[in-house]
Amino acid sequence: MKDYYYFLGISHDASEEDIKKVYRKLSLKYHPDKNDNDDFFAERFREIQEAYETLSDKARRKTYDQNLESHQKSFRYNIPPAIKTFTANKIHAKKGEEIIINWQTSNADVVKVLPFGLEKAYGERIFKITEFKDGKFQLLLHVTNSLLHKTVVQGITITEVFENDTEKFKSSVEEFFKPQPRTRMNRMGQPKIVALIWGVIILAAAIYFIIKSL
């Protein structure tokens, strides 16, 4: 059974105002129109819509809460969660190539496969990798027993395969000029090439002043 409170990242005693506020924020973040109609964001957006429609209606929320409580009691909450299997049909792939992953878990009421989101306790997903990061694509299976507050995590790393050296060189160049995630050291999210240029300038200046002082 889907945990709508988990979908929205709110507590079970959240107020109507809290639900509306979180819904607005998440629906803007995951709306397909703002994410190039990416399948992951589209699916996440549908989950958020589904959760909001249920929890924002008092009668539906009351019925849902009763069913959720009954469902949770049926779980063997005194046993830690476990991952029985988590496999991919290939760990080396080209960009755009189809990947199939399978998983099976036990004693868990919350199961996530990242970067996709919430999933059933067991299943299969077929997808295509459209973007690698530094030649790798990371999959993580999170399995949680929320009553025991215990989580088990297992990962799969798929490495990028190139058609030829030219394609590999092109990918490396694109990565060099691509904007980076914003961090404390890189607040503007500038590409790696900018950091390299600044490094060269600073090094040249340092060498100049050392020579000048001799």
pLDDT tens digits for range 46-56: 889 999 999 99
pLDDT for residue 183: 67
Task: Report how far residue 4's alpha carbon sits from residue 116's, in angstroms, rounded to the nearest whole number.
Answer: 16
Among 46-50, 147-151, 157-161, which stretch is predicted with the lowest mean pLDDT? 147-151
Q: Is the pLDDT reported for residue 137 higher than 70?
A: yes
Q: Does 135 or 200 have the greater pLDDT score?
A: 135
* Model pLDDT, residue 100: 94
As a whole number of Å, the CA-based R_g of the chain is 23
Q: Which of 69-73, 145-149, 173-177, 198-202 has the lowest mean pLDDT?
A: 173-177
Q: Which DSSP letter does residue 131 get? A: -
Rounded to whole angstroms, the Cα distance separating 54 from 72 reads 18
What CATH architecture is 4-73? Answer: Orthogonal Bundle (1.10)
Q: What pLDDT score was predicted for residue 210? A: 80
| DSSP tag of 32 | G
Whole-structure pTM value: 0.50
pLDDT in tens, 23-39: 999 888 888 888 777 77
What is the dihedral angle through the alpha carbons of 8, 13, 14, 16, rounded to the nearest 10 degrees?
Answer: 110
Which residues lie closer than 8 Å to 77 by C-beta, 6 or more apart?
107, 145, 147, 148
Q: Which residues contact 101 (CB under 8 A, 6 or more apart)?
A: 86, 87, 88, 89, 113, 124, 125, 127, 139, 156
Per-residue pLDDT at 93: 92
Per-residue model confidence (pLDDT) at position 154 = 96
Q: Does the pLDDT at position 153 exceed 90?
A: yes
Q: How confident is the model at residue 91 (pLDDT cuts 50, 70, 90)?
A: very high
So what's the pLDDT on residue 139?
A: 96
| Domain spans in the chain, listed from the N-terminal domain onward | 4-73, 82-160, 179-213
Q: Is the pLDDT of residue 40 over 80?
A: no
Domain formed by 82-160, architecture: Sandwich (2.60)
The overall average pLDDT reported for the chain is: 83
Instruction: Please report, as a single letter, which amino acid is at residue 154.
Output: Q
Q: Give mean pLDDT, residues 148-164.
A: 87
CA triple 204-206-212, angle to 5 deg: 100
Alpha helices (runs of H) in 101-213, residue ranges in sequence order: 165-177, 192-213
Nearest one of 52, 40, 62, 66 to 118, comparing CA atoms: 40
